[in-house]
Every structure is written in structure tokens, then in C-alpha cells.
Structure 1
Amino acid sequence: MAEDRLAPVFVISVAAELAEMHPQTLRQYDRLGLVSPSRQRGKQRRYSQRDVDLLREVQRLSKDGVSLEGIRRILELENQVAALQSRVSELSRELDATRAGRRGSPMARVFAAGVAGEVVTLSRGQRPRGRSQAVVLWRPQQ
């Protein structure tokens, strides 16, 4: 039901009432980029449940004495953290799938890191070409 929370269904007066704020405050937060509601025909703002929750969080932080610029930065950092957590999960799943596919495989991959930082895939037993100062990393089979 996460999609329901993202559906832009509330007009500004309803969203303001749900967030216990004045509609003008919602307009100000929109101008500052703290909350970005969807726009319908005629540029009418439409807020989702997620937007209302965010407005409540902005209000809580404001009551705790955090400036609007501080709130904007906090929200920005929270979004970055969420994006990074999502990327880590994605990479972990990819790594698990790669490891699962290689179990028992005699052709495990070996990587070399060159002087310029490039990464080169090598076959087992293969050496980097030329007189590079490459470092070869591998994990012994268990």
C-alpha cells in the first residue's frame, strides 16, 4: 500500500487541516522546497499522505527550534541516506547472486588494480599485461 501513501489526493485546505497548519504555511514550505506537492490542472497543489507526514515532521522540527534552512538540510540528508541504503541493498543482492552463481565454479574471477586505479578482470592464472605495477587480489578457494 506504499503507492496509496504517494497518491496526490488532498487539496491544500485538507492537507493543511491534516497537518494542523495554515494553508499559507504549506505554500511557504512549497516555495522553500521543504515539501513538493504534485500539481494538477491550473497549477492546483495536490498533497499525498507522505506529504502530510512530511509536513508534520517539518512542524515537529520547527517546534524543537530548528530553523527552516536546518530543516531543509535535514530532509535533504535523510533523502540521501535513504537513497544510499537502497543502493547498498541493491548491491548486496547483486553480490549474493554473483556469489551463489560462482559456488563450485572452477573459473572464479580474479581482478587486478592498475596504477591508474583501473580494475581489470583476469582469468585464474592469468597475469596483467606489460610491466605494470598492478596489484593482483584474489581469495583462495576454501
Structure 2
Amino acid sequence: MPLVNGLVPSRFLTLTAHLVIVITLFWSRENNVRASLPLQFTQEAYVKQDTEMVVALSVTLGLFAVELAGFLSGVSMFNHLQGLLSLAAHSSASVSLSFFITERWETVTYWYIMAFCSALPAAVEVLLFISVFGLKKKPL
């Protein structure tokens, strides 16, 4: 039981930290968009790159909605495997995105961070949703 008592708040805090950093990235995405472009770029290239960044951030927010829905509904709140996966993914995402903002990494890097740190836990969350509500099975 001590694992559950420490895992649930830790998971919530890392999920919230990751969410705050993504929202901050929405505000400061201009530096990362410019880092993805050559020194001489057109306005169309900037708009295209900025649109790609907005799409990536929007997909991340959608994945947050899925994961928060599963967590707050109780489907995966006390699931040890999902808790550890989510904790590891979101804490590494928080650190990676902090460097992403401060070091002005290219936007292509964000897709990799999103795939491993947001899409993977959300996919497992969806599987838990299907298991609990679709197949009417008790979560692990």
C-alpha cells in the first residue's frame, strides 16, 4: 500500500508539471519555430513551421485529456504499471521539454518527445479504458 500512496500523488504532480510546460511552450513557441528554419526564410515557411508546432502541441493536449480522464475517473489511478509508466514518461517529458524551451531545439524533436512521453502512456490508458468499460474487466 505505501507504493500506491506515493505513486498516485507523484503521478498527478508529474502529469501537471508536463501540462504546465506544454502550455508554456504554446506561449514561447516562436523561438523553437525560428530554430527550425534556415537563416533566410520566407513568411510562408514560418507559418508552415508554426502550424506544425501548433498541431503537435494540440495533439499533446488531446493526449493529456485522455490520460487525465482515465486517471481522474479511477480507471488507472491505482494501476501500478500505468502509474509507473506515466510517472517515468511525464517526468522525462518535463525535463526534456524544459531543455526544449531553453535550448531552442527544432520542432522535429518535439514529435519524438511527444511520441514517447505522451502518446505511449495515453495509448496504454485507452487500452485500460477498453478493458474496464468495453470488456467489463477489473483493472490490473
TM-score by length of 1: 0.30
| More strand, by proportion | 1
| More helix, by proportion | 2
TM-score by length of 2: 0.30
Tell which structure's C-alpha radius of gyration is larger: 1
